[in-house]
Amino acid sequence: METLHLLFATSEVFPLVKTGGLADVSGALPAALARLGVEATLLLPGYAAALDGAGPLQQIARLDLPQHGEVRLLQGRMPDGLPLILIEHADYYQRAGNPYLGPDGHDWPDNALRFGLLGQMAAWLAGDHSPLPRRPDVLHCNDWQTALAPAYLHFYDRTPAATVMTIHNLAYQGVFPPTVLGPLNLPQESFHLEGLEFHGMLSFLKAGLVYGDRITTVSPNYAREIQQEPLGFGLQGLLHHRRDVLSGILNGIDTEEWNPAQDPRLWAAYDADDLSGKAQNKAVLQQAMGLAAEPGTPLLAVVSRIAAQKGLDVVADALPRLIDLGFQFVLLGSGERALEARFRSLAETYRGRAAAHIGYDETLSHRIEAGADVFLMPSRFEPCGLNQMYSQRYGTLPVVAPTGGLLDTVTDATAARLADGSATGFVLERLDAAHLVATLGRVGELYRPQENWRRMQRTAMTRDFGWAARAQEYLELYRSLLARRA
Ligand code: ADP
């Protein structure tokens, strides 16, 4: 089969620039596709950290755009060797801190222009007048920051690359006043209900959803949920209308980085056949977090952004009763100040039984995954979710809300699933404190005697959450798209 050329446009990529899960996907998926023979190139804004981290840079184009000024496209490489094109525009991208937010915590006021340029460059590289030696076959766009590209291609090109628009989180849509239409060089006739207009505003994400050839999201269940209220966030009608080209492909995890058998951050290594190292990790974690040294007490854990999406207020509500049930609890997270304070105060009240580490700490996150027995993920919505997969790989059984990718990746410990050995965790019937407490009652009963628990751990730890199979699904999607065009 002929080599497929892919341009993967993204606003963040691990390890150069990361604020969330999108960076992990961007760091892993194109590399996994390259291992399947795809000629994959990344496109990223030229943030300072990216310019520094992309090795020797070679100019491939220089433009003077009336709306943006001078722009250069520079080709470098990712640390793993994958080709990377950076958009150099110092004024837009070489700023201190976060790619999306200013130091005041608010969106950069010129985000429409900054990410409009990203979409415009993606379209140029994938369009009729591509400056690349060979125009890509497929342009893969990710989230609102790149979503204008399919619109540019629709309005200005005749034989562009096929486009895939992936939604990593529909809650963020890139909505701006219609006055940016001119500065973004978008035609006035694009601004209507079947086009880019969203309640009188210009929606970047909607552009990708209307003009993308295929739409994907990061789990099959989330692909269904976003076709309805409330998780469609106003776009459910459009997504339902385009359901024939909408599908869900689960995210993978980095199984090298997250491997309890050879994780240098852990206090002791272990695997599915020998969990004795896990007990050691638990003992040291209990000590490090100021919890009572009780090997037999089931330890609950949370590692998460503290945001409304994650449902941690429900954990806080339930915590006194969970302590009464005999659990210990540890939280690592940061985000909303009020809820951070609540967890701090709960840790104070239940000293020795509950602990809270407010902050972001990669090493501690691995140690918690290894040392805990049960991982709590009561998200209100969850496009895919990573931690429930990490926790299964570490033999820490997840308790999850019945939503999004959590339902696609955790097999509930029903009587039937326990009997056939496929259970790997616990799915709440509903998300509220009463159901969380009831489910953890069930967890407590299964935890001792340990026979069933061991079996669940083994099943969870040996489940395949790697990228290889996911990348194959994307490749098949690209190929079917190209076949249909031909
Ligand atoms: P989301 O992308 O919505 O935050 P995911 O579960 O998809 O949720 O991914 C969260 C990622 O961020 C995981 O890798 C998780 O371990 C990590 N993470 C979140 N909060 C923290 C924290 N305080 N310290 C360390 N890692 C964290």
pLDDT tens column, 92-144? 999 987 999 998 889 999 999 999 999 999 999 999 999 999 999 999 999 99
Q: What is the mean pLDDT of the chain?
A: 96
* 339 alpha carbon – ligand 1 mean position (Å): 17
The pairing of beta strand 83-88 with beta strand 39-45: parallel
Residue 71: pLDDT above 80? Answer: yes
Per-residue pLDDT tens digits for 365-377: 999 999 999 999 9
Cβ-contact 309, 401 below 8 angstroms: no
Residue whose tokens read 């500065």: 183
Share of the chain above pLDDT 70, in %: 100
Judge whether 5-252+467-485 and 276-461 match in fold: yes
Alpha helices in 289-386 (DSSP H): 312-324, 337-349, 362-371
Alpha helices in 4-94 (DSSP H): 21-35, 48-53, 90-93
Residue 377 CA: nearest ligand 1 atom is 6
Find the mean pLDDT for residues 178-196: 95
Q: Is 365 in the pocket of ligand 1 (CB under 6 A)?
A: yes
Residue 21: pLDDT above 90? Answer: no
Find the mean pLDDT for residues 405-426: 97
- Please tell me the residue having the least CA distance from ligand 1 atom 26: 362
Alpha helices in 350-383 (DSSP H): 362-371
Residue 215: pLDDT above 80? Answer: yes
Domain residue spans of the chain: 5-252+467-485, 276-461
Q: Is 387 in the pocket of ligand 1 (CB under 6 A)?
A: yes
d(CA 35, CA 468): 9
Please work out, in degrees rounded to the nearest 5, the angle formed at the alpha carbon of residue 292 by the alpha carbons of 302 and 396: 35
- Please tell me the residue having the least CA distance from ligand 1 atom 8: 385
Q: Is 360 in the pocket of ligand 1 (CB under 6 A)?
A: yes
Residue 369 CA: nearest ligand 1 atom is 16
* 420 alpha carbon – ligand 1 mean position (Å): 32
Please work out, in degrees rounded to the nearest 5, the angle formed at the alpha carbon of residue 253 by the alpha carbons of 249 and 259: 155
Categorize the per-residue pLDDT at 193 as very low, low, confident or very high, splitting at 50, 70 and 90. very high
Q: Is 252 in the pocket of ligand 1 (CB under 6 A)?
A: no
d(CA 228, CA 86): 37
Residue 2: pLDDT above 90? Answer: no
CA distances from 40 to 26, 30, 35, 134, 140 (A): 11, 6, 10, 12, 10
The CATH superfamily holding the domain 5-252+467-485 is Glycogen Phosphorylase B; (3.40.50.2000)
- Please tell me the residue having the least CA distance from ligand 1 atom 20: 304
* 101 alpha carbon – ligand 1 mean position (Å): 18
Q: Is 94 in the pocket of ligand 1 (CB under 6 A)?
A: no
Find the mean pLDDT for residues 70-76: 98
Pocket test for ligand 1, best of 18, 167, 365 (most atoms within 8 A of CB): 365
Note the pLDDT of residue 451. 87
* 368 alpha carbon – ligand 1 mean position (Å): 13
* 37 alpha carbon – ligand 1 mean position (Å): 30
* 386 alpha carbon – ligand 1 mean position (Å): 7
- Dihedral pair phi/psi, residue 58, rounded to 5°: -125, 130
Find the mean pLDDT for residues 70-81: 97
Considering the four listed CATH numbers 1.10.260.40, 3.30.750.24, 3.30.420.40, 3.40.50.2000, the one that applies to the domain covering 276-461 is: 3.40.50.2000
Note the pLDDT of residue 97. 79
406: which residues sit within 8 A by CB, 6+ positions away? 377, 379, 382, 385, 388, 398, 400, 427
d(CA 56, CA 39): 20
With H, G, I as helix, E, B as strand and everything else as coil, classify residue 45.
Answer: strand
* 391 alpha carbon – ligand 1 mean position (Å): 12
Q: Is 102 in the pocket of ligand 1 (CB under 6 A)?
A: no
Per-residue pLDDT tens digits for 327-367: 999 999 999 999 999 999 999 999 999 999 999 999 999 99
